[in-house]
Every structure is written in structure tokens, then in C-alpha cells.
Structure 1
Amino acid sequence: MLLEALSKYPYEGLSKELLSLGMSWVVMYSDLTPDAEDIANALEGALNSLEDKIKVNTSKMGRNDRQSFDKVIKAWFNQSAPETYGELFELVIRETAELIRRGVIDPQRSLSRVKIDKNGTYLGVEFKGEMAILPAILKQPEYYERQSGFLIPTTGQKAQIRLDPLWFSLMAVGFFISFAGFIGGKYYLMTKPGVKAFWPYEVEDVIEHGLIPLTEAGISARIFLSTEELYEMKLAMRLAETNTLVPPEIYPVVLHLISLEGQVYTEIKTLQLDLSELSGYLQRYVENIEKLKISGLQILVETKEEGATVYKYPLWALVDIAEKEISRGISGDNEMLAYIFVKDLYRAVNSGNKRLIEDAVFRLFRQGRALLEGSARASGELKRVLRVFMWKEHMGVLV
């Protein structure tokens, strides 16, 4: 039933990836042919399992979406539409699960109905005379950017997708699985293209052991994209410090960065992420420093954050400085030293070549010594971090 329904979805791109994730959640809870009770249980399970992510702030709906959804939500559930997209998705999932459990919505009938005509695409069946439009944060990034031929207008056909409560719920569950934060006015979504290839036996690895810990790491550490190297480093650092292991076979995953540009949600960046090498390296880094702490040697950097004193691993502190360098831009010979080293280490680690890692570390130590002992100008913060970073014991941890 689910495979057939997904095969009928006429577009590729982000919306299909989210729909695939929503259906994958149902498969994970049951199998490829779930009955109504299985689907209701899966939707309710999503609300419970993804509760922390559901509570994270999202943007307010635009005027057009708000007006449209206010009408639909009143007809479907006799309620007013909430203010934000996250609240809207949560409401639709919860109420749809209840309607399925009461026998008001027939999942088999809904999932077997896909209609395409000159007025657009219709997924499912009208419920109480209404269908919902695909929300702007999911439709506009592909439609306006032509990311994958999604909804390219053709003569006589309207570029519009409408969904019934079940299709909408599955898309919403996929959104919450992929949601890695709403940071700096930008949505971070992580997906696994082709996830249906893992149905039914391996899908739990992709969802429970892959996308959810990755996205939760992004949310909890509020990791934003300055450069690809720093984003991946900080994500892998968060996994390492929380001792979270993501199976290497989960990678690559795709990061979608979506921003409201003017009046339109635009996918401003799409990246493939593979943290398998970085995560392994940083896990060992953390473990080795913790072993030194047990023996009585503290290799931590004291720093200030919002007026409070905090202690960080030296590499963590250097990555923070690199991020500051990126935000300031280049304004001197030594301004990008931290970023250059982090970038070199990132490339060396991802190569899997221990010799390249050693070369990158020794190069920084040479440059750092020249900086500390010479007359070149550098920030006091960078010098303080380098003094700890360049301890012999820390070099042993790095290589």
C-alpha cells in the first residue's frame, strides 16, 4: 500500500523525500501493508518520540498560508489554525490519528487516490469538502528554484498540490524527522534520498540511529552553516561529546538549508554530509582526553560564554574561533589561521590517511609557535587557545 502510494507521487525533490520519511516511520512501526490501527499508532508514536523536536520554534505562517489553513482546519477539525508551521503540523498529525482510530478516515482509500489535472495535483480524498495546500516552506523551495523539475508550470496546468489529512500528516511526520533546527531565520532539514530502499528491515537504522540523532545534535547545539567544513565539524563534535554513535552506512545524508528570501522560501544550499570519518576521529579524541583527565592531566581551555566561565576541549575552542574568523572575514595575515587549520584537519581526517593528519597537526604547531614567539599580531583569544592546544600531550591526542 505505501510503496504503491509513493510510486504515484508525481514529483521528485524535497517534498518527496519528506513524504518518504513519513511513510518510513509507518513502516518502522508496522510493515509495508499497515492497517488503520497501525497507521494511527505510528502517527501517535511520532508525536511522542519526536516531542522534543516538535517543541522547537518554527516560523509563523505567511498570510496566504494562514488564510488558507484557517479555512481548512476549521472544516477538518473545528479549530482555528495555529500561528506557526510546527504547530500546524503537530495539530494535523494528532487530529488525523484520532480520526483514523474512530474510523472516520479510511487510510486505504486515501492512499490509493492520486489525481493530476489542469488544476493541479490532489493527494487523497476531500475531507469535509476541503483539501489543504502544500505549505509554502515545503513547496516554494523546489518550485521557485527548479531544484529537480518540481512543479515546473506548463500551459494549462496550475502548479499546486493539495492533500487530505493523511497525506498531510505523513508529510508532517517527515518534516519533524528531518528537522535539524530553525536557526537565524533558516530551516535546516536532513533527508535520506532513496530511503524506501531500506524498507522494511533496515529503515529503523536510517531513522532511529541516523537522522534523529543527527538532527537532534543540530538542534541541541544550535549548529548553523557558515562553511560546510565547520558545520560538519561541529555536528561531529556534538555527537562525540554526547557519545552518540551513528552507523557509517547511514551516510551520506542531505542537508537542505531553506530561508525566507523576500516573500519566498528558497533552498539556498543543498549539501551531502558524510561524518563517518570525522565522527570516528573525534570520538577517539574525546576518549583520549578523558583518559588523561582520569590520570590527573587537564587539557581544557578556559573561556567565557555570555559572562560565564566554561571549559572546552582545545579543538572545540579552535573551531569556535574559526567560526568567528569566517563571520569577520579576512583582515590580516593571521586572521584565518584557525579556520585554515580546521579546514586542513577536516580534509586530512576525511581522507582516512594518518600521515595527512600528522602533517596538518605539525603544520599548525609550527605556525602556532611562530605566532606565539614572533611579532605577528593575533587575537588574545587565539593565543590563549594555542598555548593549551600546543601542549605535547595534546599533540599526542591529535595524531
Structure 2
Amino acid sequence: MSWVVMEAGLEPDKEELIEALEGALNSLESRTRINTSKIGRNDRNSFNDVLQAWFNRSTPETYGELFELVIRETIKLLKEDKIDPSASLSTIKTDKNGTYLGVVYKEKQAILPAILKQPEYYEYQSSFLKPTTARKAQIRMDPLWFSFMALGFFTSFAGFISGKYYLITKPGIEGFWPYEVEDIIEHGILPLTSAGASGRISLTTEELYEMKLAMKLAEEEKNIIDEVYPVTLHVISLEGQSYTELKTIQLNLIELNNYITEYVKKIRASKVGSMSLLVELKEGGATVKKYPLWALVDIAEKEVWKGVKGDEEMLAYIFVKDLYRAINSGKKDIIQDSIFRLFRQGRALLEGSSRGSGEFRKVMRTFMWEEHLGVLL
């Protein structure tokens, strides 16, 4: 609904509503091409009859295709005066069987798809002294409300990676004025989710996810306005037969964005003689060049995936986590202390008997150049 507020204000007429939906879909079109999971059997069975009745269309293969289909076909219904937006948007009901959004169209309402329904809900919502006997969690919608849900999915979609959905939302966005909503969507949510999806950034730890997200934003020279934060990251996965929210994390990248954006600018402007401050590594048989901090974060992520064996330590992850905390403090002296500590530990790694992979040692040799120290500071 934020897209409509951005384009047409708080009281849109039918034509403005159509333009807003079309404009939103055009803006989000690249996201409709991102891979999503196949529609589950239960959802497929429930949508077959509804889509045939509403649009004379069959259920597509994936959730992304389903959401795009619903938006495009609903726009056609609005243009052909087959659905009354005023009646739809002013009709909201609840009873013991759930919530109903909009009108009954062609004698059908669609059930909210499993990946959008609050994943922690069971069959019944909970209420005080009635843990499993409150109102049903079921949500039913008409085509227009379904379109809003679909636009919300594409707006918040930060990737489908290793069987997990990543969604980034702004809590309380409905409380902002239209011009503020536009800033939050266009200069906040969309760049964040685009960076997450294009970088295929998955969650190992919160520190690494935020570092990699901030790095991708810096690479793409995207500036996020401070007012966007905090945002919420939702990680959703199909566990058994049910979509489950595995993690819900509050993200605030203000300090990381500022620091890493300056880091990228200074690295691009710095050289050691004729050499750039980049580290060369082998990936899949090819030689790639990376910013030293990027390479260190990648190694830290590998350590987390691999885990610790015997007396090994996750040294790269310890280094990154320490620096992450220092940057987020926003205090120069804490950042300086962290960097000097990292360099002392790095020297011990290179000159002592600490165990570290050849790749880690190579990265640290470049990382600890005096010129790179200057960039970090």
C-alpha cells in the first residue's frame, strides 16, 4: 500500500490506483525474475479454483510467478471496471474463522500464501488464557488486497538463498507521511533488498550479514538515509511441511555504511608504488582481486560455516567481530584500539605458531601493509 501512498496520496481514485500499481510493478520488475521456491501442494490446491474463477488462469510454478500474475491480472480487472476499489479497500472483517480483506469476488477469496502468512502462527492465534483457542490465523483476500500483499513481498524481497527467504521490512511504515514513505522505500528498503539479492548475502552471523550488506551498498555507491533504520530482517525457511521464521533481526547500518563507504573511496584512491591495495586470491580456478577487508570477511564466513576443530580458533571471525563492534560504537578511539589490536594479533599470526590457513595468511600480509593501516584509521 506504500506504493499507492507514494504515487497518489491517502485517497486515491481508480485511475490513480491503476497508475500506482503499474508504476510499482515496473519498478519491481527485475525482482519478479529472481528465483523463488515452487508453490507447495497445499497452496497450489487452494489457488487453482481461485485463479480460474478470478482470471481464468491456472496456478504457475513458483511463488514469484504467482505474485506477478495476481498484480497484472488485478490491474486488468480495475481497468475493465470488474472490481470496485472503494468497496474492496473499505471492507475488512474478522470472526472466529479468521480475517477477511476485501470483497468476495466471483464467489471466491484467496488464502494468504504460506510464505507471507506469519510463519510463527499455528492453526489458531493465541490470546491471554486462550493459548490455542483464539481466532483462526487464516487470512482471506480479494484480488486487490492480494496485489498489495504481492507488492509488499517484492519490495521486501532480499533473496531466496539456499532454500531460505530473506525479507527486509520497515516496522511502523504506516505511521509516516507520504513523502517520508517515498524516501523510506526508494532510498532505504529497495537499495537494501537489492544489495542483499544481487550479492546473494546469506545469514551466518548478524555481524557478517551486516558487514557484507554494507560492503555491497558501498560497491554500488548506494546511500541509505538514516531515517530508514532500524529495519527488520526476516529469514524464512520450509521446515518439514511448514514455512518457519528462523530468525528476526533488527538491522542498523548507519555507522557501518559511513565507515565502509569511506574505506572504499580511500582504497580506490590508494596505491603502494604501482600496486593497488587489493589482495589477489584464487576462486574456482580464477584469480580475483578483493579489498582486504572484503577478503577477511569472506574468510571469517568460511570459518563459521566450517566450524572449529580441535584447538583451532576462528581467528578471522574474531578479528571481524571485534572491528564490527568498534565501528558500530561510532567512537574513533575505540576503532583505533580495535585496529591496533587486530594488527598486533595479525603480527603474532604471521610470525608465531598460531594456526591459520594459507589464504588467511596471504590476506593478512596485504591487510597489514602500512598504507592499508592508514586507510583503516
* TM-score bin (small chain): over 0.9
Matched, 1:46 2:24: yes
Residue 9 (structure 1) aligns with: none
Q: CA deviation at 1:351?
A: 0.3
Task: Encode CA deviations 1:348-391: one digit per residue, 9 max, x unaligned.
Answer: 00000111111111111111111111223210000000010000
Q: Which residue of 1 aligns with 2:202?
A: 224
Following TM superposition, the consecutive aligned residue runs of length 4 or more in structure 1 with deviations greater than 4 angstroms are: 145-149, 293-297
Partner of 1:264: 242
Q: Is the 8 A contact 2:126 2:132 kept in 1?
A: no
Alignment of 1:217-256 (within 5 A): 217-256=195-234
Write the distance in 2 (CA, Å) between the matches of 1:183 and 1:49.
Answer: 22
The aligned counterpart of 1:291 is 269
| Amino acid aligned to 1:98 | K
Question: What percentage of aligned pairs have identical amino acids?
Answer: 68
Cα pair 2:50 2:108 within 8 Å, conserved: yes
Post-superposition offset of 1:333: 4.8
The equivalent residue for 1:135 is: 113
1:67 aligned partner, one-letter code: N
Cα offset for 1:118? Answer: 3.0
Aligned pair partner of 1:331 in 309, 312, 315: 309
Partner of 2:186: 208
Greater mean deviation of Cα atoms: 373-382 or 341-350: 373-382
Verify the 8 A CA contact 2:299 2:316 in the aligned structure 1. Answer: yes
Question: Which structure is richer in relative contact order (CA contacts within 8 A, separation 6 or more)?
Answer: 1
Amino acid at match of 2:309: S
Alignment partner, residue 154 of structure 1: 133
* More deviation, 329-338/247-256: 329-338
Which of the numbers 104, 107, 110 marks the counterpart of 1:126?
A: 104
| One-letter identity of the residue aligned with 1:379 | S
Contact 2:272 2:371 in 1 (8 A): no
For the residue of structure 1 that corresponds to 2:289, the secondary structure is strand
**Separation in structure 1 between the aligned mates of residue 272 and residue 28 of structure 2, nearest angstrom:** 36
Q: Secondary structure at the match of 1:80?
A: coil
Q: For each residue in 1:123-158, what CA deviation from the matched residue of structure 2 results, as whole angstroms up to 9, or x when unmatched?
A: 111111110001111125031399997x97536x54
For the 8 Å contact 1:50–1:176, the answer to whether it is kept is yes
Q: How does 1:358-373 map to 2 (within 5 A)?
A: 358-373=336-351
Q: Secondary structure at the match of 1:143?
A: coil
Q: Is the Cα contact below 8 Å between 1:303 and 1:310 reproduced in 2?
A: yes
Which string of whole-angstrom CA distances, capped at 9 and with x for unpartnered residues, describes residues 73-93 of structure 1?
011000101011111000000
Aligned counterpart for 1:350 among listed residues 296, 313, 328: 328
Cα distance in structure 1, aligned partners of 2:103 and 2:125 = 28
The one-character-per-residue Cα deviations of 1:96-136 (angstroms, maximum 9, x if unpaired) are 01111221111100011112223322111111111000111
d(CA) in 2 for partners of 1:46, 1:210: 16
Deviation at 1:159, TM superposition (A): 3.1
Q: Please say if residues 132 and 164 of structure 1, whose CA atoms lie closer than 8 Å, have aligned partners that are also in contact.
A: yes
Change (3 A) 1:267 1:80: same
Per-residue displacement from partner, 1:213-246 (whole Å, max 9, x unpaired)?
0000000000000000000000000001111110
Q: For the Cα contact (< 8 Å) 2:203–2:209, is it kept in 1?
A: yes
How do 1:109-120 residues align onto structure 2 when only pairs under 5 Å count? 109-120=87-98
**SS of equivalent to 1:202:** helix
Q: Where does 1:302-317 land on structure 2 (aligned, <5 Å)?
A: 302-317=280-295
Secondary structure at 1:81's aligned position in 2?
coil
TM-score (norm 2): 0.96
Aligned equivalents of 1:356, 1:73: Cα separation in 2: 58
The normalised TM-score by structure 1 is 0.90
Structure 2 CA distance for aligned equivalents of residues 244 and 348 of structure 1: 23
Conserved? CA contact 1:257–1:270, under 8 Å: yes
Separation in structure 2 between the aligned mates of residue 76 and residue 172 of structure 1, nearest angstrom: 16
Partner amino acid for 1:58?
T
Is residue 2:39 matched to residue 1:61? yes
For residues 14 and 179 of structure 2, the distance between their equivalents in structure 1, rounded to whole angstroms, comes to 21
Deviation at 1:197, TM superposition (A): 1.8
- Matching residue of 2:148: 170
Query: Does the 8 Å contact 2:122/2:137 carry over to 1?
Result: no
Distance 1:389 1:294 in 2: 12
Against the structure 1 CA distance between its residues 77 and 276, is the aligned structure 2 distance closer, same or farther, given a 3 Å change threshold? Answer: same
Q: Letter of the aligned partner of 2:182 in structure 1?
A: E
Deviation at 1:331, TM superposition (A): 2.2
SS of 1:258's partner is: strand
